[in-house]
Copies of this chain bind each other. A is one copy, B any other.
Amino acid sequence: MYDASVPLFTASLRNMRAWLDKAAEAGDEAVLADTRLAPDMRPLTAQYQMASDTAKNGIARLTGLTAPAMPDTETSFADLRARCDATIAFIEGVDPALFAGSETREVVLKFPNGMGYSFAGAAYLTGFALPNFYFHVTTAYAILRAAGVPLGKPDFLQHLGAPKPAEA
């Protein structure tokens, strides 16, 4: 459960943080921060916030910890970098021993309207946390790409490092 959550979340949060450097070179930070793919979708800042929320709340729900509150006040790229850093610091600070039994720990997701889902931890991670996390990561990438920021698949998979000569 640890191996299927912590390294995935931290790798993509580090990648997202790095995209901001290329975005700052390519465009106007304030404009990009408020850019969205469709009028009824959330802007770039919110995609970063929701990726952070899905990651930190996911780890908290699986381990029984309380995730640090982050009030979604980010507006600048500097703010978003700090949000990534704080999220990574929380996740990497969690004792791996706390994941023991997390595959069967009950996780309840409750929405403001009182509806929600109840999962075993493993089904929560694979059915909700991972797809929802990558949704926001990729939507952030898509906003930047559609706005002309020169990113590519190596930026999305930056955690792999540079490819090496391969024997197959």
Contact = CB atoms under 8 A, between A and B. Distances in A.
Contacts of A71: none
Interface stretch (A22-30, A75-83, A90-98, A134-142): A134-142
Q: How many copies does the complex hold?
A: 2
A81 to B, nearest CB: 21
Contact of A117 (B4, B139, B166): B166
Given A4-B4, A12-B131, A127-B11, A38 B146 contact: yes
A108 to B, nearest CB: 5
A165 B114 contact: yes
A160 B12 CA distance: 24
Contact-size category for A: 35 or more
Interface of A: 3-4, 7-8, 11-12, 37-38, 41, 108-111, 114-118, 122, 126-128, 130-132, 134-135, 137-139, 141-142, 145-146, 148, 153, 156-157, 159-160, 163-168
Given A127-B159, A131-B134, 6 more contacts: A37-B37, A116-B166, A118-B164, A118-B166, A130-B130, A139-B142
28 contacts: A8-B131, A11-B127, A37-B142, A37-B145, A38-B145, A38-B146, A108-B167, A108-B168, A109-B166, A109-B168, A115-B163, A115-B165, A116-B165, A116-B166, A116-B168, A117-B166, A118-B164, A127-B157, A127-B160, A128-B157, A128-B160, A130-B134, A131-B137, A131-B156, A131-B157, A132-B157, A135-B153, A138-B139
